[in-house]
Amino acid sequence: MPPEPHDHEVCRALFARLSELIDRELTPAQSRRFERHLRACRHCQVCAETLRRTVELCRRAGESPVSGGLARRLQAMARRLTAAGGPPTAD
Amino acid sequence: MPTGTRAKPGVKDEDAELIRAINAGEGHRFQQLVEKYQQKLFNFGLRMCGEARDAEDMVQEAFLNAFRYLEGFRFETRFRNWLYRVAMSACLKTKRKARATRAETLSLEDFFPEDPAAMPEDVPSWARLPLERVLSAETSRYLQEAILDLPADHRSVLVLRDMEGLSTAETAQVLEITPANVKVRLHRARLFLRSRLKEHFEHAP
């Protein structure tokens, strides 16, 4: 199948909903339309791949450990709070 | 204080049994909730506030409030999501405010290329290479700085969705905004970060 001619309006529409495409939150018909455009438009491919990588980098960003000091303070707080039994009634 | 009233009752929750036990008099088991969620909340605080001291204050305040209001928890949302909402409130109350953000608001137009024809036609290496080759400690630090430059209402959405792993619906529930709003803010936040990452990698040695 010959590539679809470059359509700036579709580029703009895709640009506005690229995150939804990445998150699979579009309808099947919307996804098919944008996927078809993506196969034909190099500019939108770059846009999609760089945004996809941005999301991956966020998802894979490491976590910092809780310091020993904070863990001890939390433990002491929990002990203090629960010394009288269950939590107080929330009014 | 959050009660999770917007979700349907009967949400499956791995913490339900423990919470019922605590509310039934086994208060000492609150410690288990603290141990389970302290790491998550601390990192959430770090991502929202940027400073370890602020994050630590936030975690303590959040657990204190969680304990105080636990009996009012109605199991209408997952406990984890309720706790994020408690943490978000604690975040806003933290005395030492997070530093001022660079951008006050984000618009889609700010990120749409003025001349799409001038855009590169090849996917840059940072988006093409295996993730392990791109994700370094330096990149993580840079990303964290960029996240702190997001407007707070966009940052909270991005952190909950892309870092804490909540769904669109859960994020909407935690932040008490519509799912459509979550999608709009998330997309703009991602575009902002993409633009910052592009700068970072273009200037990398």
Half-sphere exposure of B192 (CA within 13 A, CB side): 25
Helix (H, G, I), strand (E, B) or coil at A55: helix
How far apart are alpha carbons B187 and A18 in whole angstroms?
8
Phi and psi torsions of A88, nearest 5°: -70, 155
Residues of chain A contacting B56 with CB distance shorter than 8 Å: 67, 70, 73
Shortest Cα distance, chain A CAs vs residue B129, angstroms: 10
DSSP secondary-structure letter at B8? P
Terminal C-alpha separation, chain B: 49
Residue B150 is classified by DSSP as S
Report the alpha-carbon angle B47-A48-B140, nearest 5: 25
Instruction: Kindly state whether B6 is in contact with chain A, defined as any CB-CB distance less than 8 angstroms.
Output: no
Q: Please give the structure tokens belonging to residue A68.
A: 């020993």
For B108-202, CATH gives 1.10.10.10
Q: What is the pLDDT of residues B36-82, one digit of tens each?
A: 999 999 999 999 988 899 999 999 999 999 999 999 998 989 999 99
Every domain range in chain B assigned CATH 1.10.1740.10: 16-93
Continuous H helices in B50-161:
52-69, 79-93, 125-128, 131-134, 137-148, 152-158
Contact (CB<8Å) B190/A55? yes
Interface contact flag, A51 B67, Cβ < 8 Å: no
pLDDT digits (tens, 9 = 90+) for A12-52: 999 999 999 999 999 999 999 999 999 999 999 999 999 99
Tokens of A71: 């863990």
Which of B102, B6, B2 shows the shortest CA–CA distance to B50?
B102
Tens of pLDDT, residue by residue over B74-123, are 898 999 999 999 999 988 877 455 555 555 789 888 888 777 667 788 99
Contacts of A39 in chain B (CB under 8 A): none
Spell out which residues of chain A touch residue B184, defining contact as CB-CB under 8 Å: none
Chain B residues 9-38 with a CB less than 8 Å from chain A? 22-28, 30-31, 34, 38
Phi, psi at residue B107, to the nearest 5°?
A: -120, 145
Question: pLDDT (tens digit, 9 = 90+) per residue, B14-33?
Answer: 999 999 999 998 999 999 99
- Shortest CA gap A55–chain B (Å): 7
Sequence-distant (6+) residues with CB within 8 A of A14 are A21, A34, A37, A38, A44, A47, A48
Amino acid identity for residue B114 in this structure: E
Those residues with Cβ within 8 angstroms of residue A8's Cβ, 6 or more apart along the chain or in another chain: B116
Cβ(B151)–Cβ(B106) below 8 Å: yes
ipTM of the complex: 0.87
Q: What is the pLDDT of residue A31?
A: 96
B67–A46 C-beta distance less than 8 A? no
Q: Is the domain defined by B16-93 classed in CATH 1.10.1740.10?
A: yes
CA–CA gap between residue B149 and residue B154 (Å, rounded): 10
- pLDDT digit string, tens, across residues B133-186: 999 989 999 999 999 999 999 999 999 999 999 999 999 999 999 999 999 999
- Positions of CATH 1.10.10.10 in chain B: 108-202
Kindly list the distances between the CA atom of residue B9 and the CA atoms of A46, B4, B12, B76, B167, in Å, as whole numbers in the listed order. 43, 9, 9, 4, 18
Report d(CA B46, CA B175) in Å as an integer.
18
Centroid of chain to Cα A67:
28
Q: What is the pLDDT of residue B5?
A: 39
Q: What is the DSSP letter of A67?
A: P
| Contact flag A71-B124 (C-beta cutoff 8 Å) | no
